[in-house]
Amino acid sequence: MEDVLDEVVSSEDLQKFEQVFHEQLHKGNITHKAQFEYAWCLVRSKYPTDIRKGILLLKELFNSHPDGKRDYLFYLAIGNARIKEYNKALHYVKAFLEIEPANQQVLTLERQINKRMEKEGLLGMAVAGGAVLAIGGLVGLGIALASSKK
Partner 1 sequence: MTSGPYNYSYIFKYIIIGDMGVGKSCLLHQFTEKKFMADCPHTIGVEFGTRIIEVAGQKIKLQIWDTAGQERFRAVTRSYYRGAAGALMVYDITRRSTYNHLSSWLTDTRNLTNPSTVIFLIGNKSDLDGQRDVTYEEAKQFADENGLMFVEASAKTGQNVEEAFLETAKKIYQSIQDGRLDLNAAESGVQHKPAAPGRPLAAPPAHRDNCAC
Query: What's the rounded Cα separation, in Å, for the pair 19 and 39?
Result: 12
In this chain, which stretch among 37-45, 55-63, 113-121, 126-134 interacts with partner 1, using CB under 8 A?
A: 37-45
* Residue 36 contacts partner 1 per CB under 8 A: yes
Binding of residue 10 to partner 1 (CB under 8 A): yes
- Does 3 bind partner 1 (CB under 8 A)? Our answer is yes
Classify residue 73 by burial, with Cβ atoms within 10 Å: 0-12, 13-18, 19+. buried
Residue closer to partner 1 by CB (options 12, 148) is: 12
Contact 21, 50 (CB under 8 A): no
Q: Is 77 left (phi over 0), alpha (psi -120 to 50) or beta?
A: alpha
Residues 46-75 that bind partner 1 (CB under 8 A): 68, 70-71, 74-75
Report the nearest approach of partner 1 to the CB of residue 88 (Å).
18
Q: How far apart are the first and last CA of the chain?
A: 56
- Torsion, Cα of 77, 83, 84, 86 (10° steps): -20
Residues between 68 and 127 with contacts to partner 1, criterion CB under 8 A: 68, 70-71, 74-75, 100, 102-105, 108
Q: Which is nearer to partner 1, 83 or 109 (CB)?
A: 109
Which of 68, 67, 93, 69 lies closest to 80, judged by CA? Answer: 93
> Which residues bind to partner 1, rule: CB under 8 A?
1-4, 7, 9-10, 13, 17, 33, 36-37, 40-41, 68, 70-71, 74-75, 100, 102-105, 108
